[in-house]
Chains A and B, each alone.
Chain A
Amino acid sequence: MEALDYLDLLIKALLLAGVYAAMAVGMTVVYGVMKIVNLAHAGFLMLGAYFALEMFQRFHIDPILGAVLALPAFFLFGMLVHWVLVRWLPKSETPTLASLLLMFGFWLVLQNAAYLIWGNEDQSILTPMTLSSVQIGQLSIAKIKLVVFAAAVGCMIVLQIVFHRSWFGRSMRALIQNPYAAKIVGVDDQRTARLTFGLGTAFAGFAGALLGMLYSFSPDFGRPFLLRSFVIIVLGGLESVSGVALGAVVLAILETFSTAIPLPVYWHGWNYYYLPPSYQQVVPFALLVVVLVIMPKGLAGLFNRKWKAA
Chain B
Amino acid sequence: MKLPSTVGGWLKIILPWALFAFLLLLPAAHPSDNAIRLLFITAVWTTTSLGWNLLGGMAGQVSFGFAVFFGLGAYTTALLMHAGHSPYFGFVGGAAIAMLASFLIGLPTFRLRGPYFVIATIGVTEAVRVIMNNIDITGGASGYRIIEDKPFNALEHYYTAIVAVALAVAISTIIANSKFGLALRAIKQDDVAAADLGVNPYTSKLWVHAIAAGLTGLAGGIYARRAAFFYPGDVFAFQTGISILLMPVIGGIGTVWGPVLGGVVFGVVEEQISVNFPNLHLMIYGSLLIVIILLEPDGLLGLLQLLVRQFRGKREDPGSPDADQVLWGRGRTQER
A169 on the B face (CB < 8 A): no
Question: 1/0 per residue A205-245: CB within 8 Å of B?
Answer: 00000000000000000011011001100100010000000
Query: With A and B bound together, what is the CA distance between A95 and B329 in angstroms?
Result: 8
- Complexed CA–CA distance, A101 and B216 (Å): 20
Q: Is A91 a contact partner of B327 (Cβ separation < 8 A)?
A: no
Question: Are the CB atoms of A91 and B332 closer together than 8 Å?
Answer: yes
Question: Is there an interface contact between B293 and A98, defined as CB atoms closer than 8 Å?
Answer: yes
- Please tell me the number of chain B residues within 8 Å of chain A, measured between CB atoms: 52
B279 touches A112 (CB 8 A): yes
Residues of A in contact (CB 8 Å), total 52
Contact with A along B283-318 (1 / 0, CB 8 A): 101111110011001000000000000000000000
A92 to chain B: which residues have CB within 8 Å? 328-332
Chain B residue contacts of A289, Cβ below 8 A: 108, 120, 123
Chain A residues whose C-beta falls within 8 Å of the C-beta of B329 in the assembled complex: 90, 92, 94, 96-98
* B330:A94 contact, CB within 8 angstroms: yes
Partner of A116, one of B108, B283, B326: B283
User: Across the interface, do A109 and B287 meet the contact criterion of CB distance under 8 Å?
Assistant: yes
Question: Which label, helix, strand, loop or mixed, suits the secondary structure of the B interface?
Answer: helix
Q: Is the CB of B130 within 8 A of A279?
A: yes
Instruction: Determine the chain A residues whose CB is within 8 A of the CB of B321 once the complex forms.
Output: none
Task: Report how far A187 CA is from B57 CA in the complex, Å.
Answer: 35
B24 within 8 A of A: no
Which of B83-91, B110-118, B228-236 contacts the other chain? B110-118
- A95 CB contacts on chain B under 8 angstroms: 114-115, 118
A179: chain B residues at CB < 8 Å are: 332, 336
Query: 22 A–B contact pairs at CB < 8 A?
Result: A37-B119, A91-B332, A97-B62, A100-B62, A102-B290, A104-B286, A105-B285, A109-B290, A112-B279, A112-B280, A112-B283, A180-B336, A223-B238, A224-B126, A226-B122, A281-B127, A282-B130, A282-B131, A284-B123, A292-B108, A292-B109, A296-B111
Task: Tell me, yes or no, whether B134 is within 8 Å of chain A by CB.
Answer: yes
Contact A238 B114 (CB under 8 A): yes
Whole-angstrom distance from the CB of B143 to the nearest CB of chain A?
Answer: 16
Q: Which of these, B120, B130, B131, contacts A288 with CB under 8 Å?
A: B120
Known: A98-B329, A109-B286, A234-B119. 6 other contacts (CB 8 A): A31-B115, A94-B113, A94-B329, A95-B118, A101-B289, A227-B122
Instruction: Kindly provide the distance from the CB of B161 to the nearest chain A CB, expressed in whole angstroms.
Output: 27
Contact mask for chain A residues 267-303; partner B; CB cutoff 8 A; 1 contact, 0 none? 0000000001011011011101100110010000000
A-B complex: 9 closest residue pairs judged by Cβ atoms: A108-B286, A105-B289, A96-B329, A112-B283, A285-B123, A109-B286, A285-B127, A115-B279, A105-B290
In the assembled complex, the Cα of A167 lies from the Cα of B267 at a distance in Å of 52
B115 touches A37 (CB 8 A): yes
Shortest Cβ distance from B58 into chain A, in angstroms?
A: 12
The answer to whether B56 has its CB under 8 Å from any CB of chain A is yes
Decide yes or no whether B259 CB sits under 8 A from chain A.
no
Q: How many A-B residue pairs have CB under 8 A?
A: 146
Expressed in whole angstroms, the Cα–Cα distance for A108 and B283 within the complex equals 6
Among B286, B332, B334, contact of A112 (Cβ-Cβ < 8 Å): B286
B282 at the interface (CB under 8 A from A): yes
Interface residues of A (CB under 8 A from B): 31, 37, 85, 88, 90-98, 100-102, 104-109, 111-113, 115-116, 120, 178-180, 223-224, 226-227, 230-231, 234, 238, 276, 278-279, 281-282, 284-286, 288-289, 292-293, 296
A286 touches B279 (CB 8 A): no
Tell me which residues across on chain B come within 8 A of A100, comparing CB atoms: 62, 115, 118
Contact A102 B283 (CB under 8 A): no
Measured in the bound complex, the distance between the Cα atoms of B109 and A230 in whole Å is 14
Chain B residue numbers with a CB within 8 Å of A231 are: 123
CA distance A282 to B329 in the complex (A): 33
Give the residue name and chain of the B residue nearest to A296 (CB): B112
Cβ-based interface call for B335 (8 A):
yes
A278 touches B133 (CB 8 A): yes
Residues in A whose Cβ lies below 8 Å from that of B335: 180
Provided the pairs A112-B279, A116-B280, A285-B126 are in contact, do residues A96 and B119 lie with their beta carbons within 8 angstroms? no
CA distance A10 to B113 in the complex (A): 35
Task: Indicate if B166 sits at the interface (CB-CB under 8 A).
Answer: no
Q: How far is the CB of B148 from chain A (nearest CB, A)?
A: 32
Closest Cβ–Cβ distance, residue A198 to chain B (whole Å): 19
CB of B94 within 8 Å of the partner chain: no
Cβ distance A38 to chain B, nearest Cβ, rounded Å: 10
CB distance from B107 to the nearest CB of A (A): 9
Contact B331–A85 (Cβ < 8 Å): no
Write out the residue numbers on chain A whose beta carbons fall within 8 Å of the beta carbon of B330. Answer: 92-94
Asked whether, in the complex, the Cβ of A88 is within 8 Å of the Cβ of B294, the reply is: yes
Interface pair B286/A105, CB less than 8 Å apart:
yes
In Å, the complex CA distance between A97 and B299 comes to: 14
Q: Which residues of B contact A101 (CB under 8 A)?
A: 62, 245, 249, 289, 293
Known A92-B331, A179-B332, A285-B123: A293·B108 in contact at CB below 8 Å: yes
Contacts of B114 in A (CB 8 A): 94-95, 238
B214 smallest CB distance to A (angstroms)? 22
Closest to B290 in A: A105
Q: What is the chain B residue whose CB lies nearest that of A119?
A: B279
A46 to chain B, nearest CB (A): 14
Given A96-B329, A230-B123, A292-B108, A106:B290 Cβ within 8 A: yes
- Decide if B126 touches A111 in the complex (CB within 8 Å): no
State A116–B278 Cα separation when bound (angstroms): 10
- B290 to chain A: which residues have CB within 8 Å? 85, 102, 105-106, 109
B242 interface residue per 8 A CB criterion: yes
